[in-house]
Amino acid sequence: MLAADNVSISFGGVHAVRDVSFEVAAGQVYSIIGPNGAGKTTLFNLVSRLYDVDAGSITFDGEPITRVPPHQVAERGIARTFQNTELFEHETVLKNLLIGHHVHRQTALWEELLFLPKVREQDLVFRQQVEDVIDLLDLQSYRDQIIGNLPYGVRKMVEIARALCLGPRLILLDEPSSGLNPEETEDLSFWIEDINEELDITVVMVEHDMNLVNQVSDRVLVLADGVVIAVGTPNEIQGHPDVLRAYLGD
C-alpha cells in the first residue's frame, strides 16, 4: 500500500533520512522506532509531502506520490497526526473535526455558492461520518468543549479523530502515546486496534513506548541517524544486536 524506495533528504549537512526503503502492506499496523533525531518525523513529512525528497521515490497503492501536492496526498486517502498536536485551540472539538471536510468535496465552487442539493447531501454525509468517529473514539462528552480547556490526553484523541474524519485508508500517527499516562496509553492500544480492524485502516505509527509497539504492531522498522538498521516483527526486533546498539551504544 505504501512504499518508499531509497528515499533521502538532508538539511544543510545533516542527512536526516538516507536511502530509506520500506513497504507497508494493506491492513498492517506498522511501527517506526528509533532514538531521538533518527529521522522518523522527517519520514512522515516526506510521505505527507511537507518536504520534497532529495532522492528516491514514494508510492501509494502502486502510484507515485513523490511529487504530488500535499492536498492530493490527503485526497488519495492518507491522513496524519502531528508529534505536537496541531488543533485550533479556541474552537470546539466538533468544529475541529468538521474542518477537514473540504478535502473530500466532490462539488464545484459554483455549486457550493448556490448551495445546491448535492452540496447539502455531502454535508449531511460528512456530518454523519464525524458523528461516527465521535462515537467510535468515545468523544461524545467533549464534542462542544473548547480544545484549549481539554486535558492533553483528550486532545491527542481529538487529533486522531480529525484524521479519521478525512476517511483515510492509511493513517500516520506521530508518537500518539507521548504525554499520555499508562492508563491512557493502554486505552490507545485498543483504539489503534479498532481503527485498524473495524475501520479497516492501515496504520503507520512512530512510537517510543515499546509496550505499545509490541502490543499492536505487525512489523517494526528501526531507524537510527537517518538509516534503516532493522525491520521485522516486534519479537525479531527486540533482541536484535544492532537495535540494542542504536539505543544503548556499544
Could you tell me the three cell numbers for 107? 462539488
Q: Which is nearer to ligand ATP, 13 or 239 (CB)?
A: 13
- Distance from C-alpha of 44 to C-alpha of 57, rounded to nearest angstrom: 14
Residues contacting 72, CB < 8 A, separation 6+:
49, 65
User: Minimum CB separation from ligand ATP for residue 175, in Å?
Assistant: 7
- Span of 8-16, 83-91, 156-164, 191-199 interacting with Mg ion by CB under 5 A: 83-91
- Subset of 181-210 contacting Mg ion (CB under 5 A): none
Give one DSSP letter per residue of 112-127, joined into a string.
HHHT-HHHHHHHHHHH
Q: Which is nearer to ligand ATP, 97 or 230 (CB)?
A: 230
41 sits near Mg ion (criterion: CB under 5 A): yes
Decide which of ligand ATP, Mg ion, none touches 37; Cβ closer than 5 to 8 Å per partner kind: ligand ATP
**What DSSP designation does 29 have?**
E
- Span of 11-19, 82-90, 112-120, 241-249 interacting with Mg ion by CB under 5 A: 82-90
Q: Which is nearer to ligand ATP, 11 or 152 (CB)?
A: 11
CA count, 13 A, side-chain hemisphere, 124: 7
* DSSP H/E element including 67: none
- Distance from C-alpha of 12 to C-alpha of 143, rounded to nearest angstrom: 44
Pick from 71, 64, 135, 44: which is nearest to 97 by CA? Answer: 135
Q: Which is nearer to Mg ion, 142 or 175 (CB)?
A: 175
User: Minimum CB separation from Mg ion for residue 175, in Å?
Assistant: 6
- Residues in contact with ligand ATP by CB under 6 A are 11, 14, 16, 34, 36-42, 83
Q: Which is nearer to ligand ATP, 34 or 176 (CB)?
A: 34
